[in-house]
Structure 1
Amino acid sequence: MRYMMLVKMDPSKAPAAGPSEELMTEVGKLVDDMAKAGVLLDTAGLRPLEEGAVLRLSGGKQTVLDRSFTEPTEIVGGYCIVQVTSQEEAVEWASRFLSVHGDAWEMTSEIRRIEEPA
């Protein structure tokens, strides 16, 4: 089964200095562990919201939203796709990812099973 783990956070609660070198090293080790375990399919952090776009469909009309005038309370900062045997295993990997961040970060990981083609 494939699962996507979406890492979400309130940008106002992120450390001002961003991720430390130590954190990036620990995340790299975890990614290596996932690759060695054969569960990692893809992972990446996402560029800032200001560099992206939001397209909304409502009433058959599409609108590109101007993100410069909104203060997001939660953003998706990255994702990871894993191939595991159960949701519990996906939760374990997501828990390890959150744990390496320590006390300086406040975030959530939404874990969703990917719909497989029929």
Structure 2
Amino acid sequence: MPRFLTMIRIEENTIDMEEAGPEFGERMGALFEEITKAGVMLDTAGLLPTSEGTRVTWSDGRISYTDGPFTETKEVVGGYSLSQCKDKAEALEWTRRFLELHPASWKVTAEVRQLDES
């Protein structure tokens, strides 16, 4: 079965976790439990803020390092999941369900990409 990487993109300076309410974590935990029991979820995690990250760039034959936060970037990867689904349609369905758990006022984007395992 194919594996899919889902990258969760957020505007990290606009997310207010208190707006999500205490039931947000419970709903998310229930969905993660369902995905895991279905044998789909291989791994998932949120990421620390960009203020704690470093970008490593290869350009013109040189390596450069830029410490966060990355203020010039509007959207950042805030988390990921690695899943094994029967097809892309199933991966997109799980992603839809995940996104719909978030408050309607948040902007959260998910990029779903199949791993190249050829």
TM-score, length-scaled by structure 2: 0.90
**Count of equivalent residues:** 117
> In 2, Cα distance between the equivalents of 1:7 and 1:29?
19
For the residue of structure 1 that corresponds to 2:13, the secondary structure is: helix
Say which SS state the counterpart of residue 104 (structure 2) adopts: helix
Q: Which amino acid aligns with 1:78?
A: G
1:29 matched residue in structure 2: 30
Task: Return 5+ residue gaps in structure 2 as ranges.
Answer: none
4+ aligned runs moved over 6 Å, structure 1: none
Question: Could you list the per-position Cα deviations for residues 6-31 of structure 1 after superposition, in whole angstroms to 9, with x for gaps in the alignment?
Answer: 10011233126365321111111110
Percent identity over paired residues:
36
Contact 1:15 1:104 in 2 (8 A): no
Q: Deviations over 1:47-95 (max 9, x none)?
A: 1111111101101101001324734300111001100011010000000
Q: Secondary structure at the match of 1:13?
A: coil
Distance 1:69 1:34 in 2: 32
d(CA) in 2 for partners of 1:16, 1:31? 19
- Structure with the higher fraction of residues in helix conformation: 1
Query: Are positions 1:14 and 2:15 aligned together?
Result: yes
Structure 2 match to 1:44:
45
The range that moved more, 98-107 or 40-49, is 98-107
For 1:16 and 1:81, locate their aligned partners in 2 and report how far apart those are by CA, in whole Å: 24
Match of 2:59 in 1: 58
For structure 1, the 5+ residue unaligned runs are: none
| Residue 105 of structure 1, CA deviation | 1.7
